Amino acid sequence: MDKEKFAKAVFELALEINGGTVRRNGKGHPTAFCNYSGHINRIDVDVHPTGWVADDEPDRFYFSLDDDDDEAKLLQEYHRLSMYAVKLWRDAQHD
């Protein structure tokens, strides 16, 4: 697996969750935050399903890109985030 391409796919999915627009305090639209920690080679994705609000706990997804880590775990977590995103999009269509 090309870890750089995988990382880009994670960031692209987070951008899609945001819908390509600025998300502000709890406006009812999902808001995703991505953080890459180079010192541990990990991407963290936090998603606030109804928009960011201070002190609200997000739904969290972790992607450790270390060479020693199991690719199956990465793919499983990516699938979990993808299915979560699909649910958010479906829910938004029904609002």
Look at residue 19 in the predicted model and tell me its pLDDT. 80
* Number of domains composing the chain: 1
Range of the domain at 47: 3-55+63-93
Look at residue 23 in the predicted model and tell me its pLDDT. 60
Residue ranges of the chain with per-residue pLDDT less than 50 = none
Look at residue 51 in the predicted model and tell me its pLDDT. 86
Cross-sheet strand order for the sheet of 59-64: 31-37, 42-48, 59-64
pTM of this structure:
0.86
Q: Which residue in the block uniquely carries the two structure tokens 């928009």?
A: 51
Q: What is residue 94's three-state secondary structure?
A: coil
Look at residue 28 in the predicted model and tell me its pLDDT. 72
- Tell me the pLDDT tens digit for each residue of 19-28: 866 665 556 7
- Tell me the pLDDT tens digit for each residue of 34-45: 999 999 999 999
